[in-house]
């Protein structure tokens, strides 16, 4: 293979002939999305031997197929449906995201490769009084918890974002928010980890994880690895491996889709949402305008993969045009569908399982934003270090009661 690749510590299937899967490791990380790759990076350099295994290419599921939003505010749909009480309970997850965005800001420098982060703020725009009222109560919940958020008037909004429709009347400004390029970060983390000596094996499907004499046996199609500790960073696939270990970790797969236009002149610095319908709207560093917001994709009946839903595509663009009418003139080049995952309370799973040595991290819906901090904390937990954060709200056994109740 290319010499460049080998110098950088190749991770792809083309490297497989060059190295066998190790028979044992101190830590096996399962999953090559942003969480797994970040965990590998933050574990690299410790004295532990670490291996990362991924069933296909790196960054192919939720991490590589989202729209690259860096979220740091309550999302309107659950806030409207679940109310203020839910919003207050969600605050620990929100401050987790804020701290993770702090890591995103320095990530390109930290990893020595561009991950295209910009944190110019998020704008949740409203065009009816009812929406403004909802935003007001949302801002109250967030500011009461010490998070940065403010309601700005239509005039201020148009000064700040002259590209918005004249019909918008107010917005919540969340200065911490921003965007990244979801195509890059997991790969950049993985390469940094590989350079620091973490072997990464793609196209290595894990069939089972067995508990075996105080240690683990990670059973893959390329052979077994005896592991002292295991990190599950498998996103939507968490319940499958979790249930083999007797864990009850409810995760709902919610495939969603995103559309991209042709590259356009630099116009939209912010992450834009709309209180009147599902929308995220932003401009990527490459100039393409990314339009998403959690519109459901369909499941392809033949392949079983997420595929683009026409109803969602048409609805998503209509909603976008209410806030940014000029986008209707721009050509959509691509629409893609990807896995998204959810938990019953929308809170992440993060911690050590009831089985000692087994660590799990999964941030529903906003795994991209949460990825860097998720990786850092998982690495701390694996190394047995103190974590300066209360992880109780994210504990893994919080739905066990539901199960025993039936």
Partner 1 sequence: MTASPVGAAGEEPVTLYYEGRPVLSRPGISVAASLTEAGIAALRTAAEGDRGLFCGMGVCGECSMIIDGQASQLSCMVMAAEGMQARRQPARVPVETETVPAPIPEGELSPELLVVGGGPAGLAAAFSAAHAGVSVVLVDERAKLGGQYYKQPPSFETDDRLDAQFIAGHNLIEAVKAAGVQVLSGTRIWSAEVPSADGNGEPVLEFFAAGETKRWVIRPRRLVLATGAYEKVLPFPGWTLPGVMSTGAGQSLVRAYRVAPGQRVLVAGNGPLNMQLAAELTRSGAEVVALAELASLTSPRHALRMLRMALAAPSLVRDGAGYLATLRRGRVPRLSGYTVIRAEGKERVERVTLARIGLDGAPVAGSERGFEVDAVCLGFGFLSGNEIARLLGVEHDLDAASGSYVVKTRAHGRTNVAGVWAVGDGAQVRGAKVAQRMGSLAGADVALDLGYTPDAAAIRHDEKVLARHERFQEALWQVYAGPRVGSQLAEPETLICRCESVTLATIDASLDEAGSAGAIKRLTRAGMGRCQGRFCGPTMVDRVAQATGEPVNPLSGFAPQPPFRPVPAGLIAADDPRE
Neighbours of 136 (CB within 10 A): 13
Which residues have a Cβ under 8 Å from the Cβ of 42 and sit 6 or more positions away?
A: 375, 376, 378, 379, 380
Residue 120 Cβ, how far from partner 1 at the closest point, in Å?
17
238: exposed, middle or buried (Cβ count in 10 Å: 0-12, 13-18, 19+): buried
Residue 123 Cβ, how far from partner 1 at the closest point, in Å?
15
Residue 288 is classified by DSSP as P
User: What is the b/e burial string over 249-266, where b = at least 16 CB atoms within 10 angstroms of the residue's CB?
Assistant: bbbeebbbbbbbbeebee
Q: Which is nearer to partner 1, 149 or 284 (CB)?
A: 284
Euclidean distance between CA atoms 204 and 222, whole angstroms? 6
Q: Which is nearer to partner 1, 207 or 334 (CB)?
A: 334
Decide: 204 and 220 in contact? Cβ < 8 Å. yes
Q: Which is nearer to partner 1, 242 or 340 (CB)?
A: 340
Residue 225 Cβ, how far from partner 1 at the closest point, in Å?
20
Q: Which is nearer to partner 1, 14 or 243 (CB)?
A: 14
Decide: 308 and 257 in contact? Cβ < 8 Å. yes
Q: Which is nearer to partner 1, 30 or 245 (CB)?
A: 30
Query: Which tokens belong to 366?
Result: 């906003």
Residue 74 Cβ, how far from partner 1 at the closest point, in Å?
26
Euclidean distance between CA atoms 127 and 132, whole angstroms? 8
Q: Which is nearer to partner 1, 340 or 351 (CB)?
A: 340
Q: End-to-end CA distance of the chain: give it in Å, rounded.
A: 54
Residue 345 Cβ, how far from partner 1 at the closest point, in Å?
31
Q: Which helix (H) or strand (E) holds 151?
A: strand 150-153
C-alpha closest to that of 145 among 98, 105, 192, 110: 98
**φ, ψ (nearest 5 deg) of residue 283:** -115, 125
Residue 318 Cβ, how far from partner 1 at the closest point, in Å?
4
Which residues have a Cβ under 8 Å from the Cβ of 367 and sit 6 or more positions away?
A: 33, 34, 35, 62, 63, 66, 235, 341, 374
Residue 309 Cβ, how far from partner 1 at the closest point, in Å?
9
- The length of the chain, given as a count of residues: 406
Q: Which is nearer to partner 1, 174 or 259 (CB)?
A: 259
Q: Which is nearer to partner 1, 292 or 348 (CB)?
A: 292
Residue 25 Cβ, how far from partner 1 at the closest point, in Å?
21
């Amino acid at each position: 293979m290319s010499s460049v690749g080998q110098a950088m510590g190749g991770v792809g299937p083309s490297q497989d002939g060059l190295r066998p899967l190790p028979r044992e490791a101190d830590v096996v990380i399962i999953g090559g999305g942003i969480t797994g790759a970040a965990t590998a990076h933050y574990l690299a350099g410790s004295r532990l031997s670490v291996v990362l295994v991924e069933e296909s290419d790196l960054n192919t599921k939720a991490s590589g197929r989202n729209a690259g939003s860096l979220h740091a505010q309550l999302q309107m749909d659950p806030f409207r449906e679940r109310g203020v009480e839910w919003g207050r309970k969600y605050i620990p997850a929100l401050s987790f995201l804020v701290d993770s965005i702090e890591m995103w800001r320095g990530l390109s420098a930290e990893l020595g490769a561009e991950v295209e982060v910009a944190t110019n703020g998020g704008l949740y725009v409203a065009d009816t009084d009812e929406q403004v009222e909802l935003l007001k109560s949302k801002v109250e919940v967030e500011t009461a918890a010490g998070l940065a958020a403010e309601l700005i008037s239509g005039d201020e909004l148009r000064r700040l974002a002259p590209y918005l429709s004249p019909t918008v009347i107010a917005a919540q400004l969340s200065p911490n928010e921003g965007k990244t390029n979801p195509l890059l970060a997991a790969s950049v983390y993985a390469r940094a980890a590989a350079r620091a000596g973490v072997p990464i094996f793609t196209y290595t499907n894990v069939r089972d994880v067995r508990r075996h004499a105080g240690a683990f046996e990670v059973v893959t199609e390329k052979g077994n690895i005896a592991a002292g500790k295991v990190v599950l960073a498998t996103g939507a696939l968490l319940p499958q491996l979790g249930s083999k270990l007797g864990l009850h970790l409810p995760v709902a797969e919610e495939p969603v889709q995103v559309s991209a236009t042709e590259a356009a002149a630099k116009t939209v610095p912010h992450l834009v949402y709309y209180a009147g319908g599902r929308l995220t709207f932003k401009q990527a560093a490459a100039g393409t305008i990314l339009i998403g917001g959690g519109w459901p994709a369909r499941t392809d009946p033949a392949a079983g993969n997420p595929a683009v839903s026409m109803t969602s595509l048409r609805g998503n663009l209509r909603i976008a045009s209410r806030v940014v009418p000029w986008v209707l003139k721009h050509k959509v080049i691509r629409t893609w569908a990807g896995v998204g995952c959810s938990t019953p309370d929308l809170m992440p799973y993060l911690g050590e399982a009831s089985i000692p040595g087994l660590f799990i991290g999964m941030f529903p819906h906003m795994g991209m934003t949460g990825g860097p901090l998720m990786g850092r904390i998982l690495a701390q937990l694996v190394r047995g270090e103190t974590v300066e954060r209360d992880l109780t709200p994210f504990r893994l056994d919080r739905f066990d009661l539901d199960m025993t109740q039936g």
